[in-house]
Each structure stands twice: as structure tokens, then as C-alpha cells.
Amino acid sequence: MTTSYIDMRVLIIEDEIKIARNITRVLDEEYSWAVDISTDGEDGRHMAMTNPYDLIILDLGLPKIDGIEILKNLRKKGIITPVLILTARDDTRDIVQGLESGSDDYIVKPFDMKVLMARCKALVRRSYGRVDPVVKIGDISINTAKHQVIFRKKQVRLSAMEYRLLEYLAMRTGEVVSKADIVEHLYSFGSENFSNVVEVYICSLRKKLGSGSNREVIHTLRNQGYVLGELPA
């Protein structure tokens, strides 16, 4: 995905397009997160229910369907994606209603972008069971707060997409991650992507992280996907 914690896929449901674009710019340029935007509640609810997101930033005062209704619909369907409410409604009753309806955090407009980014990173990190921003897998240390990768005590330079892929695999260390899952999480909706690109980045990461040594860093399970770290039993 400087990041946050996981190069992830985010949905912003916000009818103030300038705000949505500003958030998208920061998430994309500084954190390399894939971001989708919806400007009305009906479309946003559909996207949230049909696509895999790691975080949803949700306004309340939306056209067609109110944010609280969207939130309740998501939780009723069993969708546990972290939701951060971003709204101008600052009344205590609105805040309580938002939290009790299933949101994970609540920020009132106007807001500080750095605070919003910190909250986003914390929510995604917790959803993956990660408290420490530094993830260690064998000889690899990934500082997700600084987008810094250390391999055997030396810093490794990665491209933005290489880092996004590595960080996503790191959040799921020991799990088999399919190619389709990788593509869904690393690319925004509607972007052009090709599955063979995944192999290219995997190959590049292996070269930079000591492929050929007695301990393979990234394992390929044929017709299943990739595993960072120890293979599952």
C-alpha cells in the first residue's frame, strides 16, 4: 500500500466531492491505499455490500439513503468492515447513535487530516489483530508507519506497489492469499489491472528479500495463492 498500516482498499461514501477527493489523494499518494468513492447513499450501500473493503469512511447526511441506515444495513447483513463516521453532526445524541449503530469511530467536520489518517490506520490495524506498527516475519521487519522495510538489518527499497503487496501479505502472515484477493485489495474499482502483474511483483519481492536462500520468504501454492512466512500446517 509512509503508510498507515496495511495497504488496503477503502470506500469513501461522501457527497462533498472535494472532501472525498482530498482524503483520496492523501490515502493514495502518502499511503498507497486503493480508494473508491461514492457520492450518494444508495450507490454507497451497494458498493459496501458487494465489494471487499478494509475500511469504510461514511458521511451521515447523504442523498437517497442516510448514513445511519447504511450502517445498520451493513451490520444487519453481518458485514464487519470497520466504519469511520465522518460528519458535520456534532450533537452528542448523533455521536451516540452512530457508535451504537455499529460504527467503530466518529469524527466531526471540520477535521484535521493527520488525525483522520491516524484513526484510519488504527482501525484497519486492529481489524487485522495488529497493535504494533512494526510487523516482523523472520529476517524481515516492516514498519507500517514509515513504509520502511528492513531485511537482515539493511533497508530495502521497494516500489509503491511492491510495498503494498508485501504489507498486505504481512497482515495475513501464514495465510494463503489468492491472486484474486490480492487484485481486489490493491486496485481501486474500475482500474485496469491484470492478474499476471501479481507474479511480476512477487518475483521482484523475492529477489529483493533474499530469494534462493535456505529460507524462502514468499511461498507459492499452485492454484491457491501465496503465503508470506511459515506455510500453514
In this structure, what CATH number is given to the domain that contains residue 87?
A: 3.40.50.2300
List Cβ<8 Å contacts ≥24 apart for 146-149: 146/2, 147/2, 147/3, 147/32
- Let me know whether 156 and 221 are in one domain: yes
**Residue 64, all three cell numbers:** 437517497
Specify the pLDDT at position 131.
63
182 and 117 part of one domain: no
User: Residue 207 has which C-alpha cell?
Assistant: 529477489
Statement to judge: residues 90 and 139 lie in one domain: no
Mark which of 74, 93, 127 sits at the end of a domain: 127
- Verify that 13 and 123 share a domain, yes or no: yes
| 168 and 213 together in one domain | yes
Co-location of 44 and 88 in the same domain: yes
80 is a domain residue: yes
Nearest to 85 by CA among 63, 109, 105, 114: 105
| Residues 105 and 182 both lie in one domain | no
How far apart are the C-alpha atoms of 20 and 37, rounded to whole Å? 7
| Same domain, yes or no: 121 and 139 | no
Examine the domain organization and report whether 23 and 47 are in the same domain.
Answer: yes
67 and 140 inside one domain? no
Is residue 29 located within the same domain as residue 91? yes
Distance CA 118, CA 42 (A): 28
- Predicted confidence at residue 195, as pLDDT, reads 57
Q: How far apart are CA 25 and CA 9, in angstroms?
A: 14
Domain boundary among 127, 151, 181: 127
Question: Domain range holding 31?
Answer: 9-127
- Residue 184 is predicted with a pLDDT of 77
Q: Is residue 41 part of a domain?
A: yes
Inside any domain, residue 3: no
Reduced DSSP (H G I as helix, E B as strand, rest coil) percent helix, strand, coil of the chain, to 5: 40, 20, 40
Q: Give the pLDDT confidence score for residue 217 in this predicted structure.
A: 83
Query: 3-class SS at 79?
Result: coil
Joined together, the cell numbers standing for residue 107 give: 469524527
- Type of residue at 220: T
What is the tally of structural domains in the chain?
2
Residue 86 pLDDT = 96
Cut 0.85: pTM above it: no
Same domain, 59 and 94: yes
pLDDT at 55: 95
Q: Residue 38 has which C-alpha cell?
A: 461514492
Residue 194 lies in a domain: yes
Which pLDDT does position 53 carry in this prediction?
A: 92
- Collect all residues with Cβ–Cβ distance below 8 Å to 229 and sequence separation of at least 6: 137, 138, 173, 174, 217
- For the chain, strand residue ranges (E) read 9-13, 34-38, 55-58, 83-87, 105-108, 134-137, 140-143, 148-151, 154-156, 218-221, 225-228
Q: Residue 17: its pLDDT value, please?
A: 96
Q: How far apart are CA 101 and CA 122, in angstroms?
A: 20
The answer to whether position 233 is within a domain reads no
| The pLDDT of residue 4 | 36
H or E segment and range at residue 125: helix 113-127
| List of the chain residues with pLDDT < 70 | 1-7, 129-131, 187-195, 211-215, 232-233
Sort strands 34-38 and 9-13 into parallel, antiparallel or unpaired. Answer: parallel
Peptide bond into 110 cis (omega under 30): yes
DSSP code, position 168: H
